[in-house]
Amino acid sequence: MVIIMEKEADVKQIEQIIDKLDKFGFSVHRSTGVDHTVLGVIGDTAKIDPRDLQVLPGVADAHRISAPYKMVSREFKHNDTLIKIKDITIGAEEIVVMAGPCSVESEEQIMTIAEKVSSDGATILRGGAFKPRSSPYSFQGMGEKGLKLLRKAADKYNLLLITEAMDKEQISVVSEYADILQVGARNMQNFTFLKALGQVRIPIFLKRGIAATIEEWLMSAEYILSGGNQNVILCERGIRTFETYTRNTLDLSAIPIVKKLSHLPIVSDPSHGTGLRDKVIPMARASVAAGADGLMVEVHHDPENAKSDGAQSLFPEQFSELMKQIRGIAKVINRKIR
């Protein structure tokens, strides 16, 4: 943390600030310039809110030098985190594809879709049993019965399973069936949930909040890592902008940024990122080109009758086409897709 004093700041004001920081256990390095005195604060400044310093008398400005997160940063851990589950590794040379319906609706539905996506090269089945819906009147998911169907389909077609838990109470039941536990965008700052996820060992798939900055997202991951669970996969799924043609705006620049700031793997979700079936293929290609470690894509054998998110689910033949195209792109950047 660097604190820049106002030109007119007097000695008493400067000393008050040094005393205050000293009381909190920080060392302060004082440097007297021609115009401004600058104070360098040494210690674990992640605990201080710069705004609390900015309002003190005599202070012109206060800035963090180091990021507020630690364990998620590449400075803390230099090498990429590889998340190994059975025979799949997320974050390595192979780009993983997670595919499946928005919600599990019936045994027939999930079996049909799982067979399809597996045969095209997806290695992880996605599908929701507990559904966060903005309306209390919308389909809320099949619950544990859905989890059982998802597991059955994943096992039959040799897929890993990723599915969402909506709060800390659902962690244990979801962990019983799934290989990866998904945290939805609206839960990115559900802090009691994040703390509980630090206590378990199942890999966590942490979606970016719809209006979250990358720093806030990494801070949420920090909650999980600092709690003890090192297995976090980040997922860019679109942020809210003024554009209304798409459901969200997929922020692909988050991919190279996260790769630089953090050692955690990052996956792109062009289905939620666009909300429109015919935009999923180009944005999936672009995600791979931008360096994503994986894709999450919604696929439905009958999207027009899907109980949720039909508008953004690919038809099976579109998914085959997508797989073909991204394999070509992966090769160009020295990665591969099964």
Q: Which positions from 274 through 313 interact with its own copies, judged by CB under 8 A? A: 274-279, 282-283, 285-291, 303-306, 308, 310-312
| 92 touches its own copies (CB under 8 A) | no
One character per residue 201-230, x = contact with its own copies (rule: CB under 8 A): ---------xxxxxxx--xx-xx--xx---
Closest to its own copies by CB, 172 vs 241, is: 241
Tokens matching residue 314? 């690919």
Please tell me whether residue 260 binds its own copies under the rule CB under 8 A. yes
Query: Considering the complex, what minimum distance in angstroms separates the CB of residue 146 from its own copies?
Result: 16
Stretch that binds its own copies, among 43-51, 84-92, 153-161, 175-183 (CB under 8 A): 43-51
Stretch that binds its own copies, among 51-59, 88-96, 145-153, 228-236 (CB under 8 A): 51-59
Is 67 within 8 Å of 3 (Cβ atoms)? no
- At closest approach, how far in Å is the CB of 100 from its own copies? 18
52 binds its own copies (CB under 8 A): yes
Q: Which residue among 15, 19, 84, 328 contacts its own copies (CB under 8 A)?
A: 328
Q: Within 137-176, which residues bind its own copies (CB under 8 A)?
A: 137-139, 166-170
Neighbours of 317 (CB within 10 A): 10
State the minimum distance, in angstroms, from the CB of residue 327 to its own copies: 9
Among the residue ranges 86-94, 109-117, 121-129, 191-199, the one whose residues contact its own copies (CB under 8 A): 191-199
The binder of its own copies chosen from 12, 25, 51, 87 (CB under 8 A): 51
Is 26 among the residues that bind its own copies (CB under 8 A)?
no
CB of 54 or CB of 81, closer to its own copies: 54
Q: Which residues pair with 5 in a beta bridge?
A: 59
Question: Does 121 interact with its own copies (rule: CB under 8 A)?
Answer: no
**Shortest distance, position 127 Cβ to its own copies, whole Å:** 18
Contact call for residue 54 and its own copies (CB under 8 A): yes
**Closer residue to its own copies, CB minimum distance, 79 or 136:** 136
The pair of three-digit structure tokens given for residue 120, joined into one six-digit string: 């095209």
In angstroms, the CA 102 to CA 277 distance is 13
Q: In this chain, which stretch among 41-49, 115-123, 153-161, 172-180 interacts with its own copies, using CB under 8 A?
A: 41-49
Q: Is 13 in the site for its own copies (CB under 8 A)?
A: no
Check residue 127 and give left, alpha or beta (phi > 0: left; psi -120 to 50: alpha). Answer: left
